[in-house]
Chains A and B, each alone.
Chain A
Amino acid sequence: NAGVTQTPKFQVLKTGQSMTLQCAQDMNHNSMYWYRQDPGMGLRLIYYSASEGTTDKGEVPNGYNVSRLNKREFSLRLESAAPSQTSVYFCASREGSLLVEQFFGPGTRLTVL
């Protein structure tokens, strides 16, 4: 039981390049999330998927797109990376309904030069 896995662990991009961050969970959870963590800012919600087939914007969605590929997988895409997107990205999942606990992956450290 791996929980929430994220790939890659580290990535360096040049401004304007694109990339996709992958996330998968094996807990049969309904809801999945993408957060970014910046120094002094805590975690901020980028996008979430309340259930398979749905996605919604969070606090800071600009510059990102997401895909809920199936119940297990939720990817985050940067179409044209900018230095302001340098951050640590966390994926999380939640069983859903009234169970509030989110389970987080280990994070992806992204640097955009």
Chain B
Amino acid sequence: DQQVKQNSPSLSVQEGRISILNCDYTNSMFDYFLWYKKYPAEGPTFLISISSIKDKNEDGRFTVFLNKSAKHLSLHIVPSQPGDSAVYFCAASDGNNFNKFYFGSGTKLNVKP
């Protein structure tokens, strides 16, 4: 059973608008979360992370929000650009072992010009 879930396989957004990608997890021991971005025929690249001691982390156009009580995190991209079109994966770890991250199935974002 998947411990990290991304229930929206795809998302389409107009350029300049906000993109919101969601991720849910079931393991209450998870306390460190990452987002990766993946273009076709390439490996994933790290985007942004958050630990459970925070509820928000911002890096330029990318902000990750963490709601521990709901076991939910989201990635906001503002403003969205066509170059953001990619598959986005969230990943979670229990912090005791940063060698074991559990990945969601990904959300394919399409930003329309």
Contacts and interface: CB of A to CB of B under 8 A. Distances in A.
Interface of A: 4, 31, 33, 35, 40-45, 48, 50, 56, 58-59, 90, 92, 94, 98, 100-107
Given A42-B103, A100-B93, A106-B43, 4 more contacts: A44-B103, A48-B99, A100-B98, A100-B101
A56 to B, nearest CB: 7
B86 to A, nearest CB: 13
A38 B46 CA distance: 20
Contacts of B6: 42
| A40, A44, A94, A102 interface centre (most CB from chain B within 10 Å) | A102
Contact of B89 (A42, A58, A100, A105): A42
Given A101-B34, A106-B42, A42 B100 contact: no
Interface in B59-113: 89, 91, 93, 98-106
Q: How many of chain B's residues touch chain A, expressed as a range? A: 20 to 34
A104 B99 contact: no
Contacts of A35: 103
A43 B44 contact: yes
B36 to A, nearest CB: 8
Contact of A33 (B2, B99, B104): B99
B49 interface: yes
Nearest to B41: A106
A58 B2 contact: no
B105 A41 contact: yes
A59 B4 CA distance: 13
B100 A58 contact: yes
Contacts of A48: 99-100
Contacts of A31: 99
B45 A104 contact: yes
